[in-house]
Structure formats: structure tokens, C-alpha cells
Amino acid sequence: MQRRFIPRQGLEPLIRQTLDAGYRLHAPQSTDGAILYRPIHHSGQLPWGLHDHQAPGHYRLLDNGSPRAFAWATGPQALKPLLFRPSEPIWTLDLDSDGRPSFIGAAHTEAPLALLGLRPCDLAALALQDAHFLHGPYPDPAYAARRRGLLTIAVNCSHPAATCFCAATGDGPNAQGGYDLLLDELDDGYLIESGSAVGKTLLDRLDTLPATDMQLEAMATQRASAVRAQQRKLPNAEQLARLPAQHDHPHWAEVAERCLACGNCTAVCPTCFCHAHRETPALDGQSSVHSREWDSCFTSGHSYLHGHVVHTTTRERYRQWLTHKLAGWVEQYGRSGCVGCGRCITWCPVGIDLTVESAALVDANPAQGE
Amino acid sequence: MKPRIAVHKFSSCDGCQLAFINAGPDLLKLGSLVDILHFAEAGMCDEEAEVEIAFIEGSVSTPHEIERAHKVREKSAMVITLGACATSGGLQALRNLHDQDAWIAGVYASPEYIETLPEARPVSDFIKVDFEVWGCPVNPAQVFAVVRSLLFGAAPSLPEEKVCLECKRRGTVCTLVSKGVACLGPVTKGGCGAICPAIGRDCFACFGPAEAANTGTLANRLHGLGLQPEAVARRFAFINNNAPEFLAEARAWRDSHEPDKSHGRGDSHERADSHERADSHERADSHERGDSHERGDSHERGDSHEPGKSHEQEQQP
């Protein structure tokens, strides 16, 4: 793949070309004290100069005057809420004058979506959400409609947070694929390459320069240092395979004492897909909206079966989350459900760290996890 | 015959009854589906009417209200509490924590005219309650969902999840994590739609304790954010102060600056403190907090931390 260079101000034509191609373009922006993906119209809306400070249960944005727009790690959400909506109607039920029901499925007519600034961990999470929503025996129509035509403009992660460990899961900080366009942000501009035909068409419409040896060298140095900057590690696959056998480990109860069972970890997790279905009938009882919304294995409703809640304690719920995420997914989807983004660590109100807890459970020293 | 409904007011501010009155077109629709026989605030007065569904707003705080509660129970097939006061005792149950006689003597010129119970109590302390709708005030959508379920002949049910999930579905950035705000969302029943964090504020637990509410760990976290023990106690001793989970936490933190000694859950306090968080990061932020009643505390609080002992330093391999 031919790598090209665009100067700092070259992001503006990239945004313009994407919008002109008919996409709804979302890009990172500083919103309510965090980096969130929002609709964007010009490059001035990007989070120029912002850096994030992340620690367990802690997130702050700081302006460090950097000339960069992508000098931060993941915010609380990226692609998940845009494809797997937090809450959406699935169908509407109407009764006619004779009381006969008719079901009307929700229509999906949005313009194709494009994202600028996705991280390699977000791309890995996208592949996992695809595995769940698209590649099973019953593809999900709502997800499929929004996934179709999705344009991904990824940016390699040059500034991992203290909570990041994508190098340990093999999902970052440098993308291996799954993007239409990929950028490396340097001090004077961007190296850009395409990963698909759609991406190449878009790239061909931009004024680019050939990448110089110096720029390529700066890129390689930056990529390597982003790997070295990561401080956390997950136990390796062999160690995590021991997790289901730790069903009665006393450590589950120890975590449960600290865990709020609030479900924040599952809501910010870019791969968690559990949802609940709700019926909202109109007061006159003549119609009803059936919707699905994000659920969490930390709610009582998640394990409610025929009048009985299976997982009544936080200990059981935390065990369900961690065991499924790190071991159950391997059986279901061929790999662990963790892409190393560290969101569950940062956004846990009490800073519970799955790298530490999983290591304690499989008797692994996380520092030697790889 | 249309189902008959009564809305009774006990000790309360009337705010929850507004769930009906403010419903606009839905109120008219409700009027065509049920007969509202008693609802003083809306003009219908027949307190002793026999009904299928009785809603009670307000706590039981006088001897007369005990009698009224029993009468409502006798005349109603189903009794549903409406809001924090009726369900947990509400804000006025704060007086349960203080010397009531001294207050009455201090406030009223002729205290002998004040007839009150020693404590403001939830309705369920006196009669069987079939379903509870929490909130201060209640969410009209929840009230109407309950009515609709009953009209279908189905048992009403409302989500049991915490406020955090409603926040996340709204796309609200966590105020506790991103601003160091002393939010009670992680122990609070959802249903409000997470309206306060959506404007950058903390949750005040209007909808009461959630199931599996780990108040001890959250209280420690709030302490770590810079709240003095009395301030932690006040967070829990608020709208649903008389809910058992909150009352226990409020008492433990109010009674002692060394909560571990009186709390009976000392282990979890210490452990949570030593594990979790980046206390030192939050210290500066606590000064900015909007809560005027906590502001003074946050200044002193910083001193009790070990300077520079940040979470990363504790946990990095």
C-alpha cells in the first residue's frame, strides 16, 4: 500500500470530500469534558491540542497546546452507540378497530455513516460486534442497515492512556486492517494510506505528497513508542483459558465487595452486546412500541428467567462478566471479547481493573502476561 | 364497569400527584378508561370510596394518617405508593434522626397543638402495599406504565437497573469519573432518565436504593473524592434517607469520623480505600464542586491524603 502525506490543514479537504460523498461524518470532539464522536462539519471542531489523563475511575481532558488533533486515547464511547443503538424501536404493534394486531417493523433509512479518528481497538471491537450481530445465523437488520456502507478513517494511537493495554491483546496501538483509510499523525501532518477500494477512491481525490523517508522514520518511531508506553497487560490466552475453572475462587467475593454492580464497565465496553427488550404500550392499549436497549449482566433483569433471578449477587454477576468476556467469547467468536481499550478501568466509578482482577484469578502476574 | 381509582394525599408536597395533573392529553384519556372517584387536588372528593386502585402520596407522620391508611387499605383492592415520601418516608423522615420534641418546642409558641408521630414512616410500615413507584417526584411515564399494566390485568413491573445505565444510554459522560462529582447514581434505582448527570450534576438518589446497592463502597469513594464523613452522611441522609440501605450508611458516617469502628463493615471500607482510586487526582477538583454545603469540607479533606500517592503508582506492575 502506497503511503502518502497530507499536511496539517489537509484534514479539512478530507472532511469535505467525505461529506460531499454523502456520508454522515462523525469525528472526535471535546464534549462535556471528554472526547466523544459527534457529527462534524469542519476540521476546527476536532480536539486540537487536547490530551487525556486516564487512571482507574478517573478521566480528565487537558489542553497541552500540542499542534495535534489526535493526541489522546479512547474516550467513553466510539462506534458502538452509532451501530448498536443504546435504545431503539424494533417494531410497533397496532390494533385495528376489530382488535386485530399488525406489526410494523422499524425502517432504517439513514445515510451511510463515516467515522474519522477511530482507534485500532475500535476497529477490533467493530469486528467483534460484526461477528455477533452479522455473522450468526440471524443477522440483525438494524445493525446491518447501519453497518452497510460504513466508512472507517482510523488514526493510529500515538498517545495510549495509562489504562490502555491493546498491545497485550494484539489489537493496537497500530491498526492491522479493517479500515478504509488509516492515518498516522505526525508533528507536521499525516501519513495516510487506504485499506479498501472505497478508501482509495477517497484518497485519490485528495491532494497528497509522497511520504519522505524522514516522515516514515518518524512514523515507525512513534508506532514503536506507543507500544512501549503501555503499562498494563492482560494475562495471555493460555492463562485466561483457566478462568472458567476458577468458578469457586475466593477472589470473586473480594471483587464483589468493591464492585458497585452499576454496569458502567459493560456500557462502555465496545464489544458488549447484551440488550433487553421493552414493551411500551400506549395508555389506551391500542398500540405499543417494542424497543430494545442496552442491558448489562450486572442487572437483575439480565438473568431473570421465569420468575427467578439466576445471578442474585454481585459476585455472580462480576464472575459472569469477566468469565464470558475473557473466556466464553473464545468459544463463541474465536477470540477473547477484550480489545484492550481500558474503558472499563477508566469508567468504573471505583476503578476496578480487569487486568489486575483477571490476573489474580488465574494466578498470573499481569506484568508477565505476554 | 370502568376500574375505579383514588389518589390520596398524606404528608407530602403534592408534587407526585402532578404526575397525573400535568399529563395533559393522557389525563383526559385516563379519564375515559377509569373512574377517578377521589383526587382532592383535581377536585374529586370521596375519600371513603371503594376503588380497584388507590394511590397514596406522602408519608405517614400523624396518628390520624395511620387511621386513614388502614381505611384506604380496607376500601381498595390494590394500594400503590406514589413517590419517595409514601415509599420510604421521604425528605420529612429526616426528622427521625433528630430530637423532635426539642424542635417542636423551639419552633412553635404552643407546642401542645402539634399532634405528630415520633417518626415519619413509609406507608408500608402500616398497611400492605401492592406496588411501589419511587421518585421525588415520580416519573409520569412510570406511573402511567403501572396504570396501563393494571388495566391489562398484568402485574406491574418497572426496571430494576441503576441510574448509570440510563446515563450511558443517553450518552452522558460520567460526572463522577470525569469531574469528581459525588454522584449517587451507582447505588440508585433508575427511572428518572438520569436527568441530573445529563446537566453535569450529581445524582441525589431521588428514586431510592437500587437492588444490589453497594452503598459502603460508594461511600468510601465519595470520601476519597474529598467529602468529609459528615458530608458523606448527608449524601445518603437526603430524599430517601429512611430507606434502610441509605439510613445505615448515613448513620455510620454521621456517628463517627472513624466509620470502620461503628459500621460493622469495616473491612470493605478499608479494602476499597486501599484498592481503588486516584484520590490525589481528585483533590483539586473537589474545590470546584457546585455543592455549597460540601465546599467547606473539601478543603480540609485533602490534607488527610498521602501526597503524591496516586493510583497508577500503587498499581503499575
Query: Using an 8 Å Cβ cutoff, are B196 and B204 in contact?
Result: yes
Q: Are A190 and A6 in contact (CB under 8 A)?
A: yes
Query: Among residues of chain B, what percentage have pLDDT more than 90?
Result: 77
| pLDDT, position B220 | 97
pLDDT level of residue A8 (50, 70, 90 thresholds): very high
CA-closest candidate to residue A29, choices A19, A17, A37, A21: A37
Cβ–Cβ pairs < 8 A, chains A and B: 176
Q: With CB atoms and an 8 Å threshold, state whether B217 touches A56.
A: no
Tell me which of A180-189, A236-245, A327-336, B263-272 is least confident. B263-272
- Measure B183 CA to nearest chain A CA, in Å: 9
Among A30, A234, A257, A262, pick the best mutation site for testing chain B contact (most B Cβ within 10 A): A262
Instruction: Please name every residue paired with A276 in a beta bridge, in sequence order, or none if there are none.
Output: A293
Residues B94-115 as b/e (b if ≥16 CB within 10 A, e otherwise) read bbbbeebeeeeeeeeeeeeeee
Question: pTM score, two decimals?
Answer: 0.90
Give the DSSP H/E element, type plus range, for residue B297.
Answer: helix B292-301
Length of chain B: 317
CB distance B277 to B312 below 8 Å: no
What pLDDT is stored for residue A366 in this prediction? 54
**C-alpha distance from A68 to closest chain B C-alpha (Å):** 22
Residue A63: strand, helix, or coil? strand
**Min Cα separation A30/chain B (Å):** 11
Q: How far apart are CA B214 and CA B222, in angstroms?
A: 13
pLDDT of B47? 96
Does the pLDDT value for residue B306 go beyond 80? Answer: no
Asked if residue B282 has pLDDT above 60, the reply is: no
Helix pair angle (B292-301, B279-286), 10° resolution: 130
Residues of A in contact with B173 (CB under 8 A): 31-34, 36, 76
Please, are residues B243 and B209 in contact by the beta-carbon 8 Å criterion? yes
Q: Using DSSP bridges, classify how beta strands A113-118 and A24-31 pair: parallel, antiparallel or unpaired.
A: parallel
| Cβ neighbours of A348 in B, within 8 Å | 177
| Secondary structure element (H or E) that encloses residue A276, with its range | strand A275-281
Q: Is the pLDDT of residue B304 over 50?
A: no
pLDDT given at position A110: 87
- According to DSSP H, which parts of chain A are helical? 11-20, 80-83, 120-133, 141-147, 166-169, 197-204, 213-228, 237-240, 251-258, 264-268, 314-323, 329-333, 343-346, 354-361
Residue A201 has pLDDT above 60, yes or no: yes
CB within 8 Å: B148 and A283: yes
Residue B201 CA to residue A211 CA, distance in Å, equals 48
Q: Tens digits of per-residue pLDDT, A210-258? A: 999 999 999 999 999 999 999 999 999 999 999 999 999 999 999 999 9
The DSSP annotation for A81-97 comes to HHHS-SEEEEEEEEE-T
Q: What is the pLDDT of residues A103-117, one digit of tens each?
A: 999 999 889 999 999
Chain A residue numbers touching B276 (CB-CB < 8 A): 56-57, 258, 350-352
3-state SS, B56-106, equals EECEECCHHHHHHHHHHHHHEEEEEEECHHHHHCCHHHHHHHCCHHHHHHH
And the C-alpha cell for A247?
468458578
- Give the residue from B27, B147, B164 with the most A CB atoms within 10 Å of its CB, the best one to mutate: B164
Q: By the 8 A CB rule, do A312 and A216 touch?
A: no
Q: How far is B255 from chain A (nearest CA, A)?
A: 23
- The gap from C-alpha A243 to its chain's centroid, in whole angstroms, comes to 24
Does the beta-carbon distance from B221 to A262 stay under 8 Å? no
Residue B284 predicted with pLDDT over 90: no
State the Cα torsion A75-A360-A303-A278 to the nearest 10°: 0
| pLDDT at position B310 | 38
